[in-house]
Amino acid sequence: DSRVTLNVGGVRHDTWKNTLESIPGTRLALLAHLQESDESYDTSTGEYFFDRHSKAFESVLNYYRTQELHIDQSVCGNILKIELDYWGIEEQEIEACCWADYSRYTEHKDTLRNLDDNFAFADEDTWGGNLNKFQQTAARIWRFLEEPASSRWAKVYAVTSMSFVALSIAIFVLETHKLFQNVTKHNYEAAPHPALVGLDYVCVVFFTLEFLIRFIFCPSRSRFFRAPLNLIDFICLIPHYTSIIMRGLSTNTQTSALIKTILMLRIVRILRIFKLMKHYNAFKILVYTIKVSTKELFLMIVFLMSGVLMFASIIHYTEKENFPNIPIGIWWALVTMTTVGYGDKYPVGYIGYLMGSVCVICGVLVIAFTVPIVVNNFSLYYSHAQTRIKVP
């Protein structure tokens, strides 16, 4: 048996010919048969030279020696995959103890690629390609609306828009307080103060103009209406204009009741608060994390509701006086498992105390085992997003 010297990335490795032949069908096994006729053989040094990743090759060569493929944790999974393909080794040969770490690399790679696609981290402009004069103007206006950092006036617009959002929400909150309501006669229904009504109409006009301008100069009409924040803007405007139209058409009691019902839909304006956060990457990452962690969240809800139903049934049959039916038991079990504990319902017997203690422990365990998964996903996506933003 002859000794073979392999120079991989400047690092020399000595092994035996029969060691390389131990795994047939691979590049090194073929090299052992070809000997000096292989194109990688250097006659001046008497060794085979490969300009490949030397650290990854250590795992490859040890695979021939031990018949077990273990990976070096310091080597990126993507690099290792490329090297395994080069040496003709299937990734399925990786041992179970190292497979979790290796697969985590590939999973992160796919997930981060989807993250890039979702947030359009690509450098090309949304209005890319050959643009006519209108499209060039539209691209500048769209950038002005969407990128506060693009100019000083864009920052002014962004601050103005957020101020109107905050004002609209403040009006919605304040008009429910009696200090800001106008009562003309006894037993009449209180109405918001005229000043608040006037400010509300100013906000409606601003949001209407903003919505129309964004719609006219957006790069894609279909993507515009698929964006959640644009849908929120549109839905928030519907109650105002619907009530104005119906007031103009009729004034009977039935129509007035319908107008009041429509105006109740103004509660959706609270959703505009998300517009205040649309320029913060952390908020976008949080929404994306929730979207990609639906399996983990669903699993948590299933376990949580299973425990709630079980403990609600037990507490009902052990303390029927305090928990006359299972729905009340469900309320108690839910606030107990989530460690909220309002205290409006509680057990009074020893068995109830025991069940309550077990209920709290189970709730803590269910949440503790699932929430960290979502938190880890958020940390991964956020760090990646911050890195991508800093890339010149």
Quote the percentage of the chain above a pLDDT of 70. 86
Q: Is residue 190 part of a domain?
A: yes
- Whether the CB-CB separation of 71 and 98 falls below 8 Å is answered with yes
- Same domain as 80, residue 55: yes
Query: In terms of C-beta density within 10 A (0-12 exposed, 13-18 middle, 19 or more buried), how is residue 57 classed?
Result: buried
- Same domain as 251, residue 346: no
Question: What does the pLDDT read at residue 121?
Answer: 44
Q: Is 313 helix (H, G, I), strand (E, B) or coil?
A: helix
- Whether the CB-CB separation of 42 and 48 falls below 8 Å is answered with yes
- Same domain as 268, residue 296: no
Q: Is residue 66 part of a domain?
A: yes
* CATH number of the domain residue 374 falls in: 1.10.287.70
Beta bridge partner(s), residue 47: 42
Q: Is residue 129 part of a domain?
A: no
Whole-number Å distance between alpha carbons of 49 and 30: 15
Question: What does the pLDDT read at residue 323?
Answer: 92
- Same domain as 148, residue 92: no
In the chain, how many domains are there? 3
Length of the chain (residues): 392
Last residue of a domain, one of 244, 279, 314: 279
Residues in the chain with pLDDT values less than 50: 121-125
- Same domain as 150, residue 242: yes
- Same domain as 251, residue 141: yes
Last residue of a domain, one of 279, 306, 329: 279
Instruction: Return all residues near 33 (Cβ < 8 A) that are at least 6 apart.
Output: 21
Q: Is residue 121 part of a domain?
A: no
Instruction: Return all residues near 316 (Cβ < 8 A) that are at least 6 apart.
Output: 323, 324, 325, 326, 328, 329
* CATH number of the domain residue 27 falls in: 3.30.710.10
Q: Is residue 116 part of a domain?
A: no
Question: What does the pLDDT read at residue 4?
Answer: 87
Output Rg (C-alpha) for the chain, integer angstroms: 33
Q: Is 149 helix (H, G, I), strand (E, B) or coil?
A: helix
Whole-number Å distance between alpha carbons of 99 and 95: 6
356 phi and psi, to 5 degrees? -65, -40
pLDDT tens-place string over residues 31-85: 887 766 678 888 888 888 999 999 999 999 999 999 999 988 888 888 888 999 9
Whole-number Å distance between alpha carbons of 344 and 328: 11
* CATH number of the domain residue 216 falls in: 1.20.120.350
Name the amino acid, one letter, at 58.
Answer: E
Q: Is residue 119 part of a domain?
A: no
- Same domain as 268, residue 241: yes
**Would you give the end-to-end CA distance of the chain in angstroms?**
55
Site of tokens 């691979």: 26
Token representation of residue 271 = 């959703």
Model-level pTM? Answer: 0.61
Q: Is residue 130 part of a domain?
A: no
Question: What does the pLDDT read at residue 190?
Answer: 67
Q: Is residue 206 part of a domain?
A: yes
- Same domain as 252, residue 240: yes
- Same domain as 271, residue 339: no
Name the amino acid, one letter, at 211.
Answer: F
- Same domain as 162, residue 41: no
Tell me the residue range of the domain where 354 lies.
Answer: 283-390
Q: What is the DSSP string of 11-40?
A: EEEEEEHHHHTTSTTSHHHHHHHHGGGSTT
Name the packing angle between helices 77-87 and 54-66 (round to 10°): 60
Last residue of a domain, one of 279, 314, 343: 279
Token representation of residue 168 = 């609209």
- Same domain as 239, residue 302: no
- Same domain as 358, residue 236: no
